[in-house]
Amino acid sequence: MKCEELRREMPDLAAGLTQASDPIQEHLRACAPCAAQFEELRQTMVLMDEWEAPEPSVYFDTRLQARLREQKAMETVRGPGWFGWLPRPAMAMAGALLLAVGVGIWQFGAHGSGTGDLAVGAPTVVQSSATAERGTAVGDLQTLDNDNDLYADFDVLDDIDSQQNAQPATN
């Protein structure tokens, strides 16, 4: 038997959960480091079996309940803090909705969808009559799809850049 195999079985042997087989006993007699480690582990297990957890004082529960009441009273006076509303699902959903509406207004309201900012001569995308209203999920997805098709053609952007460089500077 190898030392690694014995070390895997040592905790069970030291705790008395399994009996030492003949190969294990032979290895412990022949290998001093394994025998020393096994003896240390066995002594540790004996100490752990003898140890008893200390009993809490008779006033422990009373003090704990008083402290919990104080903590609850402080929270009602001060409030639960900046992020105390997060565990409440309704408040969390309201916050998420408010954030989504704010981003939507910022993205599509203040800056537009970006289709009106194209240079002269750039191809325009014609939307079909079946296009959904802007501001709805389907309409926004269609707008993003149209913008993706438009901006995927980088030759147009290169042409715009070359046109701007070719024009003489006016002072």
Residues 112-138 have a mean pLDDT of 55
For residues 45 and 15, the answer to whether their CB atoms sit within 8 Å is: yes
H helices then E strands: how many in the chain?
7, 0
Task: Output the pLDDT for position 167.
Answer: 66
Residues 59-83 have a mean pLDDT of 80
For residues 13 and 24, the answer to whether their CB atoms sit within 8 Å is: yes
The string of pLDDT tens digits covering residues 73-87 is: 877 766 556 666 566
Flag whether pLDDT at 125 surpasses 60.
no
Give the CA distances from residue 101 to residues 50, 98, 104, 144, in Å, rounded to whole numbers and listed in that order.
64, 5, 5, 18
Task: Output the pLDDT for position 11.
Answer: 87
Could you say which DSSP state residue 136 is in?
B
Residues 92-112 have a mean pLDDT of 82
Please state, in angstroms and rounded to a whole number, the distance separating the CA atoms of residues 28 and 13.
12
Please state, in angstroms and rounded to a whole number, the distance separating the CA atoms of residues 29 and 160.
87
Please state, in angstroms and rounded to a whole number, the distance separating the CA atoms of residues 51 and 63.
26
Flag whether pLDDT at 130 surpasses 60.
no
Structure token pair of residue 131: 């296009």
Flag whether pLDDT at 110 surpasses 60.
no
Residues 123-140 have a mean pLDDT of 60
Closest CA to 121 of 82, 70, 155: 155
Flag whether pLDDT at 6 surpasses 50.
yes
Least confident of 57-61, 68-72, 79-83: 79-83
For residues 118 and 124, the answer to whether their CB atoms sit within 8 Å is: yes
Q: How many CB atoms lie within 10 A of CB 6?
A: 20
Under the banding of pLDDT at 50, 70 and 90, the label for residue 129 is very low
Residues 141-161 have a mean pLDDT of 68
134 three-class SS: strand
Please state, in angstroms and rounded to a whole number, the distance separating the CA atoms of residues 99 and 93.
10
Closest CA to 152 of 142, 163, 144: 144
Question: Which residues are CB-contacts of 146 (< 8 A; sequence separation ≥ 6)?
Answer: 115, 125, 127
Q: Percentage of residues in the chain with pLDDT exceeding 90? A: 14
Domain ranges, ordered by start, for the chain: 3-49, 113-171
